Amino acid sequence: MRVTRLSFITLLSLAIWGVLNPPAGAKSPEGEPRGWGPAALKGVPGQDQQAQQASPNPQDTDWYVQVARPGRPVYMALPTFALRGSAAADSAQVLSGVVWSDLEYASIYRLVPQHLYKIVGENVSPSSIDYYQWESIGTDILVVGTAEIHENRLVSEVRLYAVQSQQMVFGKRYEGPASGVRTMAHQIADDILLQAGNYRGVARTRIAFSADRRGEQSKEIYVMDYDGENQRPLTANRSLNLTPTWSPDGQALGYISYRNNSPDLYIAFINEARGEALVAGPGMTFTPSWSPDGRRIAFTSTRDGNSEIYVINTDGSGLRRLTNHPSIDTAPCWSPNGREIAFTSDRAGAPQIYVMDSDGLNLRRISYEGSYNDSPTWSPSRSFSEIAWTSRIERGPFDIVVYNFETQQVRQLTTGRGSNESPTWSPNGLHIVFTSTRTGTSQIFTMNRDGSNQRRLTSEGNNTTPKWGPAPESVDP
């Protein structure tokens, strides 16, 4: 079996090599239902009369409470975006398809099957919405979109309707280059999730990972969209480049590189096409983890002779050692508030998961199930206090488990299909990306936080140590 874990085991195998959001509720943080007020139909010229009359005000009843009835899933209908000119035919199909896929992946709403749309009619426009027909096929929320090409620019208008209360609750105009149709679709999907139920979507996020696509003797850092599209290399030095970690603003990546024959910590500034070494010797450096405030990076180093956890400021100052034990301490990860760090240590005889304060104090063990636990990753969710890690249960292969701090219970997410390792959470805490050998080679998969909806993202070469990047701030296209 090919070993894909690059945290605890890295310190042994590579050293020998030598050179080596809240789940429900429609209220915004300001207390107003999403979609009210100035956001409604932002920038849409020639707003139709029905939309003007349907736009609610902050004093109206919270529409989402009406559709989110207890014990019943919320159903959303998404007809194909209507054309405004034949030049936008392909764009309309791509917009509809990508938005559908993004919403389906989010697993928050049920999508009304498309074959039922013919009951309502082929043509759907804001001026002629038959709410009773849409309600008859089970629709709670209706998404109506248009697409047109204007002077080589793609323009889309999207409206969100609460079917039961028969009102438009959100509308927005999107404009961008015609070549950026997928980017626009991802933003539309994220906006729908935000406006419909105050969920932070992941459609515009990226995943970084390490891959050997240029030969078995080298690994480069790659970046791809959350759904596996647009895979492209970030490094090209034909060395070993491992364990990427994102800055909180998504503008930089930290990673370990052997470009100078020893594992050092580098920072790549993605939009500036430049990089620099942050930690270079003495000793070996592994498994960096960027702090939530963006000011520090925790990492593993043997600079003092033993594998210990250190932190350093991103400007290279303030190097500090946090652990001091003759065992191997490695694979640090920060808590969402930056006050604690989880890590792997074999101080109990086998690798287990420990947590300490960010200053190295108040250390305690949290993993007691499984003979080998490694690669902790802290959920950023505000609703669930959880850590996921790689675990060997009995004598089986490695699987992904999640520990809940409130219940102190562990649940297993993967089972019986290859070795599943290196989990990291999506920025909303609803999904996990991980590495699996279930196909015979090491590939990257994602799944929901309950282990459902497992999807393969990569197929070329061997791909390891994925890291899910932060969600970008919402901006008008």
**pLDDT tens for each residue of 211-268:** 999 887 899 999 999 999 999 999 999 999 999 999 999 999 999 999 999 999 999 9
Determine, yes or no, domain membership for 475.
no
Same domain, 91 and 135: yes
Residue 353 shares a structural domain with residue 211: yes
Q: What is the CATH classification number for the domain harbouring 379?
A: 2.120.10.30
| 241 and 258 share one domain | yes
Give a yes or no: residue 144 inside a domain: yes
Say if residues 210 and 463 touch (Cβ distance below 8 Å): yes
Please state, in angstroms and rounded to a whole number, the distance separating the CA atoms of residues 196 and 66: 12
286's CB contacts (< 8 A; 6+ apart) are 6, 7, 10, 11, 242, 243, 256, 263, 299, 300, 301, 307, 330
Q: What is the CA radius of gyration of the chain?
A: 24
- Looking at the structure, tell me whether residues 165 and 235 fall in a common domain: no
Prior bond of 73 cis (ω within 30°): no
Mean pLDDT of 149-159: 91
Q: Mark whether 183 and 300 lie in a shared domain.
A: no
Q: How far apart are CA 323 and CA 318, in angstroms?
A: 16
| Tens of pLDDT, residues 310-362 | 999 999 999 999 999 999 999 999 999 999 999 999 999 999 999 999 999 99
Share of residues in the chain with pLDDT > 90 (%): 74
Q: What is the pLDDT of residue 123?
A: 73
CA nearest to 128, candidates 120, 117, 118, 139: 120
Tens digits of per-residue pLDDT, 45-63? 333 333 333 333 433 445 5
Q: Is the pLDDT of residue 166 over 80?
A: yes
Which pLDDT belongs to residue 12?
36
Residue 28, domain member (yes or no): no
Residue 142 Cα to chain centre, angstroms: 26
What pLDDT score does 34 carry? Answer: 33
What is the rounded distance in angstroms from the CA atom of residue 264 to the CA atom of residue 303?
A: 11
Selection from 23, 74, 39 nearest residue 195 by Cα: 39
Q: Are residues 220 and 238 in the same domain?
A: yes
Domain boundary among 147, 164, 197: 197
Summary mean pLDDT of the chain: 86
Question: Are 460 and 384 part of one and the same domain?
Answer: yes
Tell me which of 177, 197, 217 is where a domain ends: 197
Average pLDDT over residues 117-129: 83
Give 416's pLDDT tier (boundaries 50, 70, 90): confident
* Torsion 11-16-17-20 (CA) sign: positive
Q: Is residue 155 part of a domain?
A: yes
- Mark whether 224 and 139 lie in a shared domain: no
Q: Is the dihedral of CA 45, 49, 53, 55 positive or negative?
A: negative
Same domain assignment for residues 207 and 192? no
Look up residue 351 and give its amino acid.
P
Domain count, the chain: 2
Which of the pair, 67 or 217, is modelled with greater confidence?
217
Backbone conformation region of residue 192, classed left if phi is above 0, alpha if psi is from -120 to 50, else beta: alpha
Task: Please tell me the distance from the alpha carbon of residue 227 to that of residue 203, in angstroms, as a whole number.
Answer: 8
Q: Are residues 252 and 391 in the same domain?
A: yes
Q: Which residue has the tokens 């690798």?
A: 351
Q: Span 470-475, mean pLDDT?
A: 78
Phi first, then psi, for residue 281 (nearest 5°) are: 60, 170
Is 81 within a domain?
yes
171 and 95 inside one domain: yes
* Residue 29 domain-assigned (yes or no): no
* Model pTM above 0.85: yes
- With left for phi above 0 and alpha for psi between -120 and 50, is residue 166 left, alpha or beta? left
**Strand order through the sheet with 455-456:** 420-425, 431-436, 443-448, 455-456
Domain enclosing residue 163, as ranges: 37-197
Inter-residue contact 431 to 421 (CB < 8 Å): no
* Whole-number Å distance between alpha carbons of 263 and 255: 10
CATH of the domain at 153: 3.40.50.10070
* Cβ-contact 9, 46 below 8 angstroms: no
Task: Kindly report each contact of residues 96-101 with a partner whose C-beta sits within 8 Å and lies 24 or more positions away, as own/partner.
Answer: 96/145, 97/185, 98/181, 98/182, 98/185, 98/186, 98/189, 99/143, 99/145, 99/185, 99/188, 99/189, 99/192, 101/227
- Residue 50: what pLDDT? 32
Task: Output the CA–CA distances (angstroms, integers) from residue 324 to 54, 297, 434, in the order listed.
Answer: 64, 18, 30
**Is residue 383 assigned to a domain?**
yes
From 179, 197, 215, the end of a domain falls on 197
Q: What is the pLDDT of residue 36?
A: 29
**Do 146 and 54 belong together in one domain?**
yes
In a domain, 56, yes or no: yes
Task: Give the helix ranges, DSSP H, for 56-88.
Answer: 63-67
CB 203 within 8 A of CB 226: yes
